[in-house]
Structure 1
Amino acid sequence: MACRNNVLIVGGNSGEFALKRVDEKDGTEHWGAITSDASGITNHIDLVHDRNGAFQALISSNDFRARLMDINTSKMTREIDFPWAVNCSTLSMDRRILCAVGDATESIIADAQTGKGKRLYLATGNQDKTTRIYDIRNMSETLHVLRANVGAVRSLHFSSDGRHLAVAEPLDFVHIYDATTYDQSQVIDFFGEIAGVSFTPDDNSLFIANADDRVGSIMEFGRINHGCWQDDDCFLV
């Protein structure tokens, strides 16, 4: 059962639901079916707004699915399959990520649109000349240790799509890693101290702030394919 924004919704053991607007004194209950599956027990319901502002019910069911149902039409707008009965699911504040738990020891963090699993990475730049990658669900284990050439890592940023990580050393070197595997990187090698790096929101450019007294500038490297940014030279190592 869930109640929010004057809407009350209840799910049952056979995939049925009842919905009522509690602000309407003589409001009529709306009945319907979430699923016709024989194991379609409703385990949990949450009332949420999606990224477009539509008011929806996020329903976790015993038939291995989480569903989004439009409150105004009582129509299912999305179904996400899981490998086990879903006991509870919820959306992140930005409505991009869905977390589900069920009849298993693990939980799943997935893209709320596609249902594809996500790993949430945290990258740290360190004085020992390394960048260290962690999965935020298990901070006790380092997934990757990426070594710099000359000094401590001072600036690092993931691209908006999460596919690349730019890592700046204190001078001369910026590394752009493939964030799906971290087994290869593009190295931008130039002269000068580095004040910072940043991708543009569309990930089509990378800006590097060169803080050298003699040749200081803001350099822009344009993306020329899925894994390479170019000014004059572009290479992978």
Structure 2
Amino acid sequence: MDDTSASDYKQGKDMQGIPWERLNYSRDQYREMRLKEYKNYQSLTRSHSGLEQECKQVERKDTFYDFHSSTRSVKSTIVHFQLRNLLWATSKHDVYLVQNYSVMHWSPLFQRGREVLNVAGQLAPTENVKGARPLSRVQISTMALKDNLIVAGGFHGELICKYVDKPGVAFCTNLTGDNNSITNAVDIYEAPNGGTRVTAANNDCVVRTFDAERYSLLTQFTFPWSVNNTSVSPDGKLMAILGDSSECLLADAHSGKEVSTLRGHLDYSFASAWHPDGHVVATGNQDATCRLWDVRNPSEAFAVLRGRIGAVRGLRFSPDGRFLAAAEAADFVHVYDAAAGYAGAEQEVGLFGEVAGAAFSPDGEVLFVGVADRTYGGVLEFRRRRAYGYLDSCLF
């Protein structure tokens, strides 16, 4: 009963296994109730009167990814309601998610979950480097994963680095010494010189960058507000910086010098992502919109996309740049066709529960969605729809 297959779904079973036939309302009725009653959290009480005119009208009728399966054998959990990015995929057979005090690996191929990191007890760094210090009982607030490296941020300012294929924790520390300074976001990127870098954005208004080989602190940039999210352009030169401000910044990733200010959002931002071509950056905001900016002309967003229920808290581009997945705080993940200018077509994935994260596999063939719900939470898997019409015309 914990799993739903594509065959089950076609025969009428709910994607998450919700037994609507035993409830007092249908799925459509409950969706209508949720849309009416869900309260989107706002930090700034600004008028949204002109927002509808700005937003592109998108046709919600396309299907780019078909439902393939879901499992409740592993379940995402969320520590801070504004912070997500708690699900990542390193292949279409390898998914990583935060579950309570663990980072879990889920294999859709073998239908099996295993723990790869436990932070409930004592953590001691295996690398003897400056700044490393033991930690205990960390609540993971955010996570990033690239290749073999997991980086996790903690609710009390912690930073943890672990290699998937090695025992123990390579590096861990407390970034601020202030228990109120949550680590809001972490990122892994490749610098122009080829070195791997780790960034941590924190509530103490500082963005810190570490060398991922010796874990030495390379830079720390201070901003006038708490930093909720950072992401670095594919060439490693520009950093998008978002926080407790309606404005978002683009800065030089090496010097921290501001390059441009992105203006248009009405509330605080918590998500960003770069298109693989390096020219477009997407930002997600508590005003329930995603804005897309061309960094060559960042004076205004060239597209504004409106969510359905609340804040846009997760953004991911597919590796080929064809699609943008925008995860709302709950119930909806939108897949936009970047090749069609984002407004030409959209797939709306409707579910129930807080969305812990959405991630494409590196080949772009699979979209995974993590749902945080005690009963019906789990990992949903969607497969890229392909047109093989040419097979019909083949002569045998």
> TM-score, normalized by length of structure 1?
0.48
Greater length-normalized contact order (CA 8 Å, ≥ 6 residues apart): 2
CA radius of gyration, larger in: 1
TM-score (norm 2): 0.30
Structure with greater helix share of residues:
2
